[in-house]
A and B are shown apart, each in its own frame.
Chain A
Amino acid sequence: MTQQLKSTLDRFLLFVGGFGILLKQVASELLHPPFEWRLLMEQIYQIGFRSFPLIFITALSTGMVMTLQFGIGLAKFGGQPYVPKIVSLSILREMGPVFTSLMVAARVGAGMASEIGSMVVTQQIDAIRALGTSPIRKIVIPRVLATFICLPLLGSLANLVGVVGGLIVGVTELKLDPEFYILKVTTTLLLDDYFSGVGKSFFFAIFISITACYFGLTVKEGTKEVGLATTQAVVVSSILILVGDFFLTKLFFIL
């Protein structure tokens, strides 16, 4: 038991150190041209464009379910008119960016870790180094930057789709007037609500991409470790998003 605890602590400390070193290397390499535009565009397509259907479905169903739950729950107290306000605020401040990040962590984080891990096992990462180029520049930076660019955009899209999902259920199931719904949403939401939600996406993007690249690059041998790295990347980045969300929310309230 003690041994297991020590091993977990060792791995945690290794991860914290590795995360910090990788982030520093990314920052350092970003300062040195040339920049890999083509690779960045490829990753924006993979991470941003190809995540679009998943984020659309997630956001739409979240908005719809939240509206249904609040509508039924608040109906007992005559609180249905507050549904547009509660749902849209929850989506913009929390659900949109957090659910988007969790879905991206699952889809993209897993893909990154397994792809990079496989490249380690087949010596492709060594080949990049042996050919006088940098895996940080060629592999890590395009993925980190693409996630950094795409996640806030996907979060913004999730906000919009989530609110529209709420509107659909509000009108069809709760029999709310669509004009009333839209008026309530537009008079409730402020730019601050949008930025406090989407602002967190920038941090979540770093959590997802650096964590996935770290676990991919630290694969030592064999395909079994690739699978393990993939699982670890998703689990750890999800935990970082959920725990980080609390502290970032507090931080944004202070600011």
Chain B
Amino acid sequence: MIEVRRFKKRFGSKEVHRGVSFHVEQGECLGLIGGSGSGKSVLLRSLIGLEKADSGSIVIEGQDITQMTERELIGIRKKVAYAFQGGALFDSMTVFDNLAYPLREHTDLKESDIKKKIRDLLFEFGLADSENLFPGSLSGGMQKRVGLARAIILNPDTILYDEPTAGLDPFNTRKISEMILRLKAKKKTGILVTHDMPVAFEVCDRIALLVHGNLDIIAKPKEIQQDALHPISIFAHGDIT
């Protein structure tokens, strides 16, 4: 379970978060929506300590990560994975080595076992023939899928998705949605930052709207879809920025 309490963050004179509070239950997928620059990604990055909170707490499995050092955060980062918007693949490594990186760092698996695990995962993600390619020769959709595969290879409890379908064609969007649903079926907790409302409605249990540095509006997809005057429905139609 993840619990965020009165989280505040500012950059210079810009107050991005003014006391954000929410929680995500084990196995639940929370959608996080909001206008561009509203601080969704900053909030997501803060959940694994990539950004430091100015005040407030972020409690993951009973531990407040805002008080942790980089060394202490390593344990959390093995359990909470982050799927970057652009994949953030290491461009000096092949797809195979990108996926092998967390396994070589954090497990005692033999190279033959690593190879098998990676091949299985690449097959599952529809990337069976790309293990020897470098990230530069992959399409945006493939990079995102490899990034997601790398994020989940250590079998984390929670996955943070940063705009996983942004800029993708319908085929790749469909692929990513299916992967998120498959992970959800395995009882993985998820937080999904997105602008893609159909994907949010499809994969999320609840959707939260981050507006003016606050996250007070949280609802189930069905409630939003049935109420055209719901603030999230209005946002989805482009009437709130």
Could you tell me which A residues sit within 8 Å of B by CB distance? 122-124, 126-127, 129-134
Contact = CB atoms under 8 A, between A and B. Distances in A.
A132 B77 contact: yes
B105 A127 contact: no
Given A130-B48, A131-B102, A123 B84 contact: yes
Interface size class of chain B, counting residues whose CB lies under 8 Å from the partner chain:
20 to 34
A126 B89 CA distance: 10
Given A122-B91, A129-B50, A132-B102, 12 more contacts: A122-B88, A124-B91, A126-B45, A127-B89, A129-B49, A130-B50, A130-B77, A131-B105, A132-B77, A132-B78, A132-B106, A133-B105
Contacts of A127: 82, 84, 88-90
A126 B77 contact: no
B1 to A, nearest CB: 20
B70 A126 contact: no
B101 interface: yes
Contacts of B89: 124, 127
A131 B77 contact: yes
Contacts of A130: 48, 50, 77, 81-82, 84, 88, 151
Nearest to A128: B90
Contact of A129 (B70, B78, B85, B102): B70
A132 B65 CA distance: 14
A131 B101 contact: yes
B98 to A, nearest CB: 9
Nearest to B76: A132
Centre residue among B85, B88, B89, B102 by max chain A CB count within 10 A: B88
Nearest to B48: A130
Contact of A124 (B45, B90, B106): B90
B74 interface: yes
Interface in B167-210: none
Interface string B42-84: 0001001110000000000000000000100111011001101
A118 to B, nearest CB: 8
Contacts of B106: 132
Contacts of A123: 84-86, 88
A136 to B, nearest CB: 9
Contacts of B77: 129-132
Contact of B74 (A122, A124, A132): A132
Nearest to B147: A127
Interface string B102-114: 1001100000000
B201 to A, nearest CB: 27
A223 B73 CA distance: 30
The 4 closest A-B pairs by CB, nearest first: A123-B88, A127-B88, A132-B77, A130-B82
B102 A124 contact: no
Contacts of B45: 126
Contacts of B88: 122-124, 126-127, 130
A126 B102 contact: no
A124 B91 CA distance: 8
A71 B148 CA distance: 67
17 contacts: A122-B91, A124-B89, A126-B45, A126-B50, A127-B89, A129-B50, A129-B70, A129-B77, A130-B48, A130-B84, A131-B101, A131-B102, A131-B150, A132-B74, A132-B78, A133-B74, A133-B105
A39 to B, nearest CB: 11
A132 B73 CA distance: 7
A133 B98 CA distance: 13
A238 B57 CA distance: 44
B89 to A, nearest CB: 8
Given A131-B101, A131-B102, A126 B74 contact: no
Contacts of B90: 124, 127
A132 B90 CA distance: 15
Interface in B94-146: 101-102, 105-106
A132 B105 contact: yes
